[in-house]
Amino acid sequence: MTARSRPRPAADPAPPEGRGGAGTALLDEISRDDGQPPINLVICDSQPIFAQGLLQLLATEAPDFQVSGIAHSVEELIEMTTRLRPELVLLDARFGIEPAQPLFSMSPSPKVILVATADLEMDLTDAVAAGVCAYLLKEQGIADIVQVLRLVLRDLLIVPAPLARRTLRSGRGGLRSLDTTERQILAHIAQGDTNRDIARLLNLSERTVRRRVIQVYGK
C-alpha cells in the first residue's frame, strides 16, 4: 500500500483470503486534481510482484486511477468486485475467461481488461464475445498501460495489433471474409472511434456494432 493510504473504517469488511495469500482491499479517500473521485480498479493476477508494482506505478504516474483491491484468484476477484464495485478490472489471462463469467453479468458490470505476457497464445474471439474490453501485455510500459485504461473508459476495444492480426488470420477467410459493414467497423476501430461513434456514423445501434465486432474476430 502506498503512503497515501490510510486505515479503512472499522465497519468495512475484512479483505478476502486467497490461495496465493490474502486478497488486499486498498480503499483510499482521495480526490483527483479536478475534484472528481479517483477511477477505481481491481487487479487479479497470479504474480503478486506485478500487481504490487503496477499499484505503485499508478500511484505515482496516474493518481487519478486508484487500485482499490488486489485479488490472487478469480474467486477472490468476484467477491471483491461485488463488494467494491470498481469501474475497471485487470484480469490475468492465465486464469481464463470462463471462471470470470460472473463479472460480465453484474449490473453495472466493470470493464474487464485481460493482462498477459507476450508468450501466451490466446484467441481473442471468446474474450471479445464474453465482453472483454482490452488486452494488455505485461511487457508494456506504464504510459501505454495508462493510455489503454483511459481508452477503455471511452468504450474502445483495445487489442495489440500483432495479436489482432493473428486472430484474423487464424479464421476461415481473414479480412476477405468480412462484409462491407464489418470492414467499415474495423476501419473505424483502427481510427479510435468508440462503439457509440461507429453506431452514429453507420446508422446502427450500439448493440449491433458490438455484435458485428464479435463476428469480425470470429472470422
CATH assignment of the domain containing 200? 1.10.10.10
Q: Give the CA distances from residue 68 to residues 25, 31, 34, 202, in Å, rounded to whole numbers and listed in that order.
A: 6, 13, 20, 38
**What pLDDT is recorded for position 34?**
58
Q: Which residues contact 61 (CB under 8 A, 6 or more apart)?
A: 142, 143, 146
Cα–Cα distance measured from residue 188 to residue 193, given in angstroms and rounded to the nearest whole number: 5
**What distance in Å separates the CA atoms of residue 69 and residue 86, rounded to the nearest whole number?**
9
Does 136 lie in the same domain as 39?
yes
Among 125, 192, 181, smallest CA distance to 157 is for: 192
Instruction: Select from 128, 144, 166 the last residue of a domain.
Output: 166
Place of cell 452514429: 200
Q: What is the pLDDT along the chain (219 residues), one digit of tens a residue?
A: 334 444 444 344 334 334 344 455 554 444 445 567 899 999 999 998 999 999 999 999 999 999 999 999 999 999 999 999 999 999 999 998 889 999 998 988 999 999 988 777 666 777 877 888 898 888 888 999 999 999 899 888 887 766 666 665 555 445 566 788 888 887 787 677 778 888 899 998 888 887 787 766 655
Structural domain including 211 reads 171-219
Q: Residue 217: which H helix or E strand, with range?
A: helix 206-218
The reply to whether 154 and 176 lie within a common domain is: no
Cell 457509440 sits on residue: 196
Asked whether residue 100 falls in the same domain as residue 199, the answer is no
Q: What is the dihedral sign for C-alpha 160, 114, 44, 89? A: positive
Do 177 and 162 sit in the same domain of this protein?
Answer: no
Domain CATH code at residue 59 = 3.40.50.2300
- Overall domain count for the chain: 2
Whether the CB-CB separation of 18 and 73 falls below 8 Å is answered with yes
How far apart, in whole angstroms, are the C-alpha atoms of residue 182 and residue 27?
Answer: 42
